[in-house]
Structure 1
Amino acid sequence: MVWCSRIGQRRYTTLVHGTGHNCAAWADVASHLGTHCHAVAFDLRGHGYSEAGSRTAEQYWRDLADVAASLGWERPILVGHSTGGYAVSAATAAGIVTPAAIAVIDGVVLEDRATAIHDNAHWHKPEAAQRLREIYLYGWRVDRHDMLDYVEQCARETDTDGFNAGARPELMRQVIRRCFTSCADGQYLRRPTVEEITMTTAPDPDAVVYPSVDVYEPIECPMTIVLPSDGFYARRADEVRSVVQSSQGRRLIEIDAGHNVPMTRPAELATIIIDLVRQTHTDVE
C-alpha cells in the first residue's frame, strides 16, 4: 500500500482497459505513477486471462464494484480507456461504486438512447461479426507456433501501425500474448470472442444505465475526459465539450495522440492521472 504522507490518506486508482486489450496495456502508465497512488489493473470478462465470460451485457462494468470491494477500497479513482471509459461511467452512474473521480480516455458515448439502440443492433448482423474476425482476429483458434509468430509480427509492426505507433514493441508483445489463452486441445484462443462482443453490445433498451449520452447525467463526482487529436471522437469534439460543460467539476484535456493513449502516450497519461490524484487529495482536506 502507498500512503499519502501529506494528508495521511490512501488514494487508490483502478485502471480499466478497452475492448480487445487486457490489463497489460496499462504497464507503462503504472510505471510512471510511482508513489503517487496505488494503482490496480485487471482483465475484464472475456479478455486476457480472466476465466469469466459475460452472461449479461452489464456484468463487465458491474464487476468494478466487486473489484473495489475485494480490495477494500473506498472512493477510488476510476480510469477507463475506450470501452473501459464507458465502464467507469456506467458503474458511477449506476451508483455501484462511489469514486473520488473518474477519467475517461477516448471512451465517451455521445448518441441519444434511441440512436444508440439502433446502432448497437448492427453488431448482431453476420457481416459485423465477420468484420471483427477479419480485422481483430477475435475468436481465432491457432496452434502455439502460429500464435507466437503472430505475437512477434505485432511487436515488429508497432511503429508502422497507425493505431499503435509510439508504443514499445515489448509492451505490444506482452499485451498480444496475454490475448491468447490455451485450450484443452492444445490450441490457443484469441480473446475476446465475437460472442463476447455481441453480448456486451446488446444491453436491455429499457435498462436504467445504457451506453448513450444520458449516462453522464447522474454523475456528480469530478470527471476528466481525455480527447486525443487523432482518436475515435476527435471529429465530435464539440459534442464532447457539451458533456463536459453540462455539469460542474468536469474538465476536458486534449492531447496529441491516437486512440491507444495508454500504450502510446503513457507518460502524458500518467501525468494527468497524478494531477487527478492530487486534486482529489486537496478536495478532502
Structure 2
Amino acid sequence: MPETIISSGTVPIAVRDFGGSGRPLLLLHGAGGNLAQLGTLAAQLRPAHRVVAVDLRGHGRSGDGPWRWDDVLDDLTAVADDLGLTRPAVVGVSLGGMLAALWARRHPECPGAVSLDGNPTLGRPEQLAGMDPEQAATQLATLRAAFDGMAAVMAEPLSAEQLAAALAGQRAMAQRYGAAPEDWVAAFERNLAPCDDGRSRLRPGPELTEQIRVAMESLDLIPAYRDTRCPLLLVLATEDLPEQHAFGELYAAYRRATAERLAAVANPSLRVLHLAGASHAMVAERPQELADVITGFLATAARD
C-alpha cells in the first residue's frame, strides 16, 4: 500500500493510502499510536470507502510540532487537499476520535464523522457522577501518579533488553485479541526513533506527550457536539480494559457522567452508541463490527 509524506502544511505528515473506490475517508489513530495500528479496520472499510490513514504529528513517520488542536486539524486539511480528497469522512480512535469531533464542528460540509471512544482524559472530579468528591479526588490523584510513572518510563531510551521485552509484550497483546503478532510488532517499531548511543526511544517524545495529555485533559467536547452540523456518531466503550480494573469505580463514574452530559445535548446531527461489551480497545476487539457500524452510519448520513 503506497505511503507518502505530505509537506504542504507546517509539519510533514505521513499517510498510507489503503485504496478503495468509494467516497474518501480519513482514518486517525490514538495517542502514542500510528497508522499501522489501523490496518485491519482500514481493510474492512475499503469496500465502501477509499481509506487514507494518517500518522498524526509527532507519531510514526510524521514530523514533530507543538500539539494545538487547530494546528493538527490544519495538518488533516493539508492531507485532504494534497491528495484531492473531496469532503472526506473522518473516523478516529481515542485521540483521533476527539479530532474527528472537532473536524465535524469545523466542517459542516463533511458527509459524516465517527469518534471511537474519543473521550477527554479523566482527570477532574466534575467528570465523575455518583462518587463522593473527596474519594474521587483521592483516586484521581492515584490515577495521575500511575500515568506519571508510565510517562517517565516511556520517556527513557530503550536498551536492547527493554526493546526485546517490549516486542514480546506486543506479541502477547496481539494474541489476546486474536491478531497477527507481526502486525503489532510492525506498528510498535514504526514509533521507534534511534538515539545517538544506539538505543531507541518511543515517539512521541516526552515534551509532546505532555502537551497531548494537557490538551486532552482540558478539552471539553460538549460544545463541539452541540454545535456540529455534520452527522457525528460517538461509539462509546462500556467495559474496562484489564489495566483499568484497579480504577473500576472511577471509570464507571466517568462513563455515567459522560452519558448524562450527552443526554442533555439536543442536536439531531449527533448520534451516540454505547457499544455493549466493548472496551477502549474496541478497534482490536471488534474491527468487523465497527466497520459495519461506520459504513452503515455514513451510508445513512449520505441518504439523509
Say yes or no: does 1:44 pair with 2:56: yes
Q: CA deviation at 1:279?
A: 2.1
Higher relative contact order (CA 8 A, sep 6+): 1
Say yes or no: does 1:140 pair with 2:156: yes
The 3 A distance-change label for structure 1 pair 172 and 189 is same
Asked whether the equivalents of residues 46 and 191 of structure 1 are also in contact (C-alpha less than 8 Å), the reply is: yes
Q: CA deviation at 1:98?
A: 4.0
Give the TM-score taking structure 2 as reference length: 0.72
Q: CA deviation at 1:216?
A: 2.0
Letter in structure 2 aligned against 1:102: A
Q: CA deviation at 1:73?
A: 1.4
Give the TM-score taking structure 1 as reference length: 0.76
Q: Please give the alpha-carbon distance, in whole angstroms, between the structure 2 residues aligned to 1:240 and 1:48.
A: 34
Say yes or no: does 1:269 pair with 2:300: no
Secondary structure of the 2:58 match is coil
- Identify which of 214, 223, 233 aligns with 2:232: 223
Runs of 4+ aligned structure 1 residues displaced above 6 Å come to 113-116
The 3 A distance-change label for structure 1 pair 224 and 188 is same
Aligned length: 258
Asked whether the equivalents of residues 116 and 236 of structure 2 are also in contact (C-alpha less than 8 Å), the reply is: yes
Asked whether the equivalents of residues 79 and 88 of structure 1 are also in contact (C-alpha less than 8 Å), the reply is: yes
Higher helix share: 2
Secondary structure of the 1:258 match is coil
Q: Please give the alpha-carbon distance, in whole angstroms, between the structure 2 residues aligned to 1:274 and 1:133.
A: 36
Asked whether the equivalents of residues 22 and 48 of structure 1 are also in contact (C-alpha less than 8 Å), the reply is: yes
Q: CA deviation at 1:2?
A: 3.9
Identity rate, percent = 25
Secondary structure of the 1:192 match is coil
Asked whether the equivalents of residues 102 and 224 of structure 1 are also in contact (C-alpha less than 8 Å), the reply is: yes
Say yes or no: does 1:259 pair with 2:259: no
Q: CA deviation at 1:247?
A: 0.5
- Identify which of 72, 83, 94 aligns with 2:106: 94
The 3 A distance-change label for structure 1 pair 272 and 57 is closer
Q: CA deviation at 1:184?
A: 3.8
Encode CA deviations 1:149-200: one digit per residue, 9 max, x unaligned: 421232124456xxxx455433322222222122344221111223112223
Asked whether the equivalents of residues 62 and 91 of structure 1 are also in contact (C-alpha less than 8 Å), the reply is: no
The unaligned stretches of length 5 or more in structure 1 are 4-9, 204-208
Secondary structure of the 1:73 match is coil
The 3 A distance-change label for structure 1 pair 56 and 275 is closer
Q: Please give the alpha-carbon distance, in whole angstroms, between the structure 2 residues aligned to 1:142 and 1:268.
A: 36
Q: CA deviation at 1:18?
A: 0.8
2:75 match? 63
Letter in structure 2 aligned against 1:264: E
Letter in structure 1 aligned against 2:230: C
The 3 A distance-change label for structure 1 pair 58 and 262 is same
Encode CA deviations 1:214-248: one digit per residue, 9 max, x unaligned: 222321111111112215664445236426x5200
Q: Please give the alpha-carbon distance, in whole angstroms, between the structure 1 residues aligned to 2:178 and 2:285.
A: 5
